[in-house]
């Protein structure tokens, strides 16, 4: 059922009708009700038999288009229509006899006309002889069937006076076995000749009419925009429901009942795709967002608002993928999409399916990879206990099957697992016994940062704990996706890191405000070390790239359905201050990966972790990252080991004034030459200036003087 939506639900059929198919093995009766038939449960019901109800629980309903007054039914029972183009081949006025004649003329060669006209003669005579009124009534009366050679000679004798033709010669095979009497083999040369022939014209395509011809003759059985539901008679009584396969759902005016909407817009209102989907990049910089809260006004934002205002911002911020949450139709807005009601319908709160197509197409035009986040109930898929008799085998099989089908149908798809158990084989191919996910999320990182900020004084932070938590399970570090925070921190009743760190500051004087300077510095360092120390992907929730100061709280009964916190304050980016500084830093951090391929490099070499000094340093490819988390101590010439001799140039410094820092390290100090001294188990070292609560990213260059020598 991986492609069940292509069959089940309502679908426009080429032969001027709409087909509805559903699966309800326990039902006794099935009908489609809606405003198009006065909500009558008897007008459009499934019949019994092959084209109505079968033994496997499938129900099939045909809704024939209505013939307009004064119009005659189609001459051909198989007449098809193209509902997109105004004109098609069938509009040319060519008759079916002319189409058949052209097909025969193009396919058959001269001399084969007798075969064309008599190709059904043999089976008709055989049927008459065996099953006709004058044929044998019992097996005994059938008599013995002669062998192949006898039948062949009889055939030649019967047709000895026929004119010569290009019909195939026959060879007789009779090895004295019982089945040989049925074998008459066509000459191989003749077989090859017809194997290379093009098939006859598809007459149903040649006679297909266009949309104008259809509208002139018929009115749609179920017009575009009609409300409908499916009606079942079950052993427990009648019931109505929204079909599970509907692709557009809308509630009534009071919001108490939902209806499926038949979505079949005319061509002029159908979105025309402009861009092709991009291939997954080697490193993912994911921008996680929710369409409904993406605006600055206290209301539910639309797909069009998101397309016009948020997508350009995401492009400017340097991310290469967007992840949409709460996009599939769900029951309550405040559940953020966790209570899905229809997997094949985008939420009507944000707009129409055509608006969503535009959003996806424009995202591809910005070279974004697009994700939709689906939630799988862990009460069903319990895989938290493994390698014993308590493992939920059905859950594991489901995940394996889902990944196999998804990757088979869409080779460029990416599946990500949120897992806190380090399940063995989580990201291994299913062919090797794994579950088949492409990435897994390190959930421990965000929990660690929240715990440190809320429960641990700055001077008691453990550098060893930070590095071990951020690296996660080393066996899957090359397929790990990390984030300092995601929507859970700011939506699920919690606080974002910016809200914790910046809530007491004054954004108008960042350089003179000690609390704001601390918050801004730690926020930049937390992001940078999470981004660079491990993993192949990084995720950021909408607004956190500039330190959004408020949490997200959806309108719900407990807050009297208020929208005051269900938006994003984009206007903060228009003012000089801490939010512009943080956004500038986040943008340059994304640019660092774009230029230096940080996320796609191998695992880091963490060679310097000092809890007493609160300093962390590691190498990732040619890049050196150094962090000083100490709240008060600065180091003028701190010795850090490096492997390669040469020069190291600072390419990212959290303390620069344009990022809201103090600018203690001057630009003339950005270039450092290595010293031939063994430090941290490495052959060389450099001495760097490390102000408190700052971090640096440095790039190694070959020493051109030494290289020339």
Active site residues: 418
Beta strands in 545-614 (DSSP E): 605-610
Interior/surface letters 217-243, b for 16+ CB within 10 angstroms, e for the rest: bbebbbeeebbbbbbbeeeeeeeeebb
Residues 525/625, Cβ–Cβ less than 8 Å = no
Question: Three-class SS of residue 602?
Answer: coil
Helices (H) and strands (E) in the chain, counts: 19, 29
Contacts of 499 (CB under 8 A, 6+ apart): 490, 548, 549, 550, 551
Phi-psi label, residue 663: left if phi above 0, alpha if psi -120 to 50, beta otherwise: left
Cα dihedral: 533, 539, 543, 545 (round 10): 30
Strand 218-219 relative to strand 249-251, pairing: unpaired
- Distance (Å, whole) CA 506 – CA 512: 9
CB atoms within 10 A of CB 486: 22
Of 515, 495, 518, 497, give the one whose Cα is nearest residue 506.
515
- Distance (Å, whole) CA 53 – CA 29: 9
User: DSSP 3-state helix, strand, coil percentages of the chain (rounded to 5)?
Assistant: 35, 20, 45
CB atoms within 10 A of CB 303: 26
Angle between helix axes 444-455 and 463-471 (nearest 10 degrees) is 160
Of 171, 180, 114, 116, give the one whose Cα is nearest residue 146.
180
């Amino acid at each position: 059922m991986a492609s069940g939506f292509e069959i089940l639900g309502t679908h426009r059929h080429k032969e001027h009708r709409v087909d509805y198919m559903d699966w309800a093995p326990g039902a006794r009766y099935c009908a489609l009700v809606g405003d198009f038939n006065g909500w009558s449960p008897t007008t459009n019901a499934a019949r019994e038999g092959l084209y109505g109800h079968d033994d496997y629980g499938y129900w099939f309903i045909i809704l024939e288009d209505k013939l307009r007054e004064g119009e005659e039914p189609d001459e051909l029972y198989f007449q098809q229509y193209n509902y997109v183009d105004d004109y098609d081949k069938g509009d040319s006025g060519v008759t079916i006899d002319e189409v058949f004649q052209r097909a025969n003329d193009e396919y058959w060669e001269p001399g084969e006309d007798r075969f064309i006209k008599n190709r059904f003669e043999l089976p008709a005579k055989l049927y008459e002889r065996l099953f006709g009124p004058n044929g044998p009534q019992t097996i005994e009366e059938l008599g013995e069937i002669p062998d192949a050679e006898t039948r062949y000679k009889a055939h030649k004798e019967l047709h000895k006076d026929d004119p010569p033709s290009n019909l195939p010669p026959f060879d007789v095979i009779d090895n004295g076995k019982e089945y040989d009497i049925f074998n008459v083999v066509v000459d191989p040369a003749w077989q090859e000749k017809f194997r290379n022939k093009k098939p006859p014209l598809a007459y149903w395509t040649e006679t297909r009419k266009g949309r104008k011809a259809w509208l002139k003759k018929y009115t749609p059985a179920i017009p575009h925009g009609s409300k409908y539901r499916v009606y079942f008679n079950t052993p427990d009584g009648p019931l109505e429901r929204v079909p599970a396969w509907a692709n557009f759902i809308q509630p009534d005016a009071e919001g108490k009942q939902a209806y499926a909407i038949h979505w079949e817009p005319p061509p002029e209102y159908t979105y025309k795709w402009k861009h092709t989907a991009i291939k997954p990049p080697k490193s993912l910089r994911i921008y996680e967002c929710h369409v409904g809260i993406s605006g600055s006004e206290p209301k539910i934002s639309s797909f069009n608002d998101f397309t016009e205002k948020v997508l350009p911002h995401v492009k400017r911020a340097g991310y290469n993928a967007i992840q949409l949450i709460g996009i599939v139709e769900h029951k309550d807005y405040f559940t953020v999409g966790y209570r899905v009601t229809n997997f094949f319908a985008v939420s009507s709160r944000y707009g129409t399916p055509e608006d969503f197509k535009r959003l996806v197409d424009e995202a591809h035009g910005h070279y974004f990879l697009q994700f939709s986040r689906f939630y799988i109930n862990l009460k069903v898929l319990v895989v938290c206990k493994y390698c014993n008799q308590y493992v939920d085998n059905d859950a594991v099989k489901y995940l394996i099957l889902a990944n196999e089908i998804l990757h088979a149908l869409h080779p460029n798809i990416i599946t990500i697992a949120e897992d806190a158990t380090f399940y063995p084989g989580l990201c291994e191919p299913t062919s090797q016994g794994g579950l088949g996910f492409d990435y897994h999320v390190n959930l421990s990182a965000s929990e660690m940062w929240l715990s440190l900020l809320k429960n641990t004084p700055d001077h008691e932070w453990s550098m060893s704990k930070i590095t071990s938590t951020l690296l996660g399970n080393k066996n899957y570090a090359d397929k790990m996706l990390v984030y300092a925070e995601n929507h859970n921190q700011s939506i699920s009743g919690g606080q974002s890191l910016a809200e914790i760190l910046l809530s007491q500051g004054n954004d108008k004087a960042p350089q003179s405000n000690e609390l704001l300077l601390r918050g801004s510095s730690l926020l930049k360092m937390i992001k940078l070390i999470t981004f660079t120390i491990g993993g192949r992907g990084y995720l950021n929730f909408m607004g956190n790239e500039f330190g959004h100061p408020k949490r997200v709280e959806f309108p719900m009964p407990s807050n009297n359905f208020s929208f005051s916190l269900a938006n994003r304050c984009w206007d903060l980016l228009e003012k000089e201050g801490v939010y512009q500084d943080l956004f500038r830093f986040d943008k340059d951090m994304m640019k660092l990966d774009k230029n230096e391929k940080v996320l796609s490099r191998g695992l880091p070499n963490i060679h310097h972790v000092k809890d007493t000094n609160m300093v962390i340093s590691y190498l990732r490819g040619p890049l050196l990252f150094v962090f000083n988390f100490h709240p008060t101590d600065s180091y003028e010439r701190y010795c850090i080991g490096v492997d390669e001799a040469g020069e190291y140039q600072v390419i990212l410094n959290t303390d620069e004034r344009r990022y809201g820092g103090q600018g203690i390290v001057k630009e003339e100090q950005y270039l450092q030459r290595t010293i031939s001294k063994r430090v941290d188990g490495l052959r060389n070292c450099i001495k760097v200036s490390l102000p408190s609560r700052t971090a640096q990213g440095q790039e190694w260059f070959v020493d051109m003087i030494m290289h020339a020598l």
